Amino acid sequence: MQKNRVDIISLGCSKNLVDSERLLKRFADCGMEVHHNDSNVCGKIVIINTCGFIGDAKEESINTILEYAEAKKTNRIKELYVMGCLSERYRDELKTEIPEIDKIYGKFDWENLIPDLLKKHPGTANYDRIITTPKHHAYIKISEGCNRFCAFCAIPLITGRHKSRPVEEILDEVRELVKKGVKEFNVIAQDLSSYGLDLEKRMMLPELIDRMAKIEGVQWIRLHYAYPAQFPYEILDVIASNDNVCKYLDIALQHINDNVLNKMLRHVTKEDTIKLINTIRAKVPGIHIRTTLMVGFPGEDEQAFKELKEFVKECKFERMGAFAYCEEDDTFAAKNYSDSISEDVKNQRLDEIMAIQEEISLHVNEDKVGKTIKVIIDREDSDYYIGRTEFDSPEVDPEVLIAKNKQLTVGDFYQVKINEALPFELLGEVL
């Protein structure tokens, strides 16, 4: 057991990952040897950054805590701490059920870990962190929390009200990351559309991204998790006019049936949604829209699900994910609706809609065959270099497999001719 070592295990979304990276930096600045998601945990201190969003994620977090609680019992580790969304929401329950945890922190008070454990106050800038992603790309979290209170979602109950980071602080962070070699910036928030409303009572996302695009060294900016209601349409002009803002937008639509949308408390209609999609594609030709849909929400009858399937077929989203409704404690849906759709029906609907999307994804990729596209190289394996286009976000979108007919450098951009298409992969060669 290494006494000066701390292991941080990060679960859940990229927003959690940013918090873990900030914590890693603070421990390192205090002289600790830091490790992130290491397969061989052998330090004195283990910190688990938990996810508490949906059932599967909560189960993974609990199982991970139990694993290291057992490790503590057998003296493989000495101290166990928990932070993040699950512990923010279920602090008392975790304390009672898993007494091996030395102390529980939430989503925001984790900054007390350093003074509590090491009796030090590192002089680290608030945004400074150790990047755990490939060194050429990083996530930029521009806000925390959410004011939308969708019926199915527990995020506002965990993270609280929407709070934007100051523009200048974000831009300073980007400049520092550029100095460290970061070229690609994935901008993340629970609700990009609301950025700035709490600062200056106006939507400031277009201004932020336009200024970020002007920073020398920023080669790709990609936007994640816009909200369809009160969408900041000016951001489309920013995407269209800046070559380094990727023609990509992640916007979770959840459903298209008006009754379901109303029950979800989405504050948007089918007509609004279709108008938004058409405007996005008209203003930014060639844009790839990523969306997320939900099946099995209370009130989704067969007709509503049929309408959702037709919507997917007609809109032909370049990127789409879906999940089955899972009732979350204390949400509006849990308090007011009966989760009456069986798990079998939910899973059947999920399979159906993803099968439709797989066919669409194949057609989208086939349209790229014969074209030459700019690709960034993420890594290499024994057979291929593996990269992504501007239309592909790390971990969630298709990759480009590039034949090893010449030496390439991870983190660099290349012009790649696409020779073959699969539903979720492209194959090509560097010219």
Reading the chain (431 residues) residue by residue, the pLDDT tens digits are 677 899 999 998 899 999 999 999 999 999 999 999 998 888 899 999 999 877 788 899 999 999 999 999 998 999 999 999 999 999 999 999 999 999 999 988 998 999 999 888 777 777 899 999 999 999 999 999 999 999 999 999 999 999 999 999 999 999 999 999 999 999 999 999 999 999 999 999 999 999 999 999 999 999 999 999 999 999 999 999 999 999 999 999 999 999 999 999 999 999 999 999 999 999 999 999 999 999 999 999 999 999 999 999 999 999 999 999 999 999 999 999 999 999 999 999 999 999 999 999 999 999 999 999 999 999 999 999 999 999 999 999 999 999 998 999 999 999 999 999 999 999 999 98
Buried b or exposed e, range 75-87, using 16+ CB within 10 angstroms: eebeebbbbbbbb
Annotation: CATH topology of 372-430: OB fold (Dihydrolipoamide Acetyltransferase, E2P) (2.40.50)
Query: Range(s) for CATH 3.80.30.20 in the chain?
Result: 137-366
Q: Is 263 helix (H, G, I), strand (E, B) or coil?
A: helix
CB atoms within 10 A of CB 69: 19
* pTM exceeding the 0.75 threshold for the entire prediction: yes
Query: Range(s) for CATH 2.40.50.140 in the chain?
Result: 372-430
Query: Range(s) for CATH 3.40.50.12160 in the chain?
Result: 2-118
Q: How far, in Å, CA of 14 to CA of 3, rounded?
A: 29
User: CATH number for the 2-118 domain, one of 3.40.50.12160, 3.60.40.10, 1.20.120.530, 3.40.190.10?
Assistant: 3.40.50.12160
CATH number of 137-366: 3.80.30.20
Q: How far, in Å, CA of 298 to CA of 295, rounded?
A: 9
CA distances from 262 to 146, 147, 257, 295, 305 (A): 19, 17, 9, 15, 15
Buried b or exposed e, range 322-350, using 16+ CB within 10 angstroms: bbbbbebeebbbbeebeeebeeebbeebb
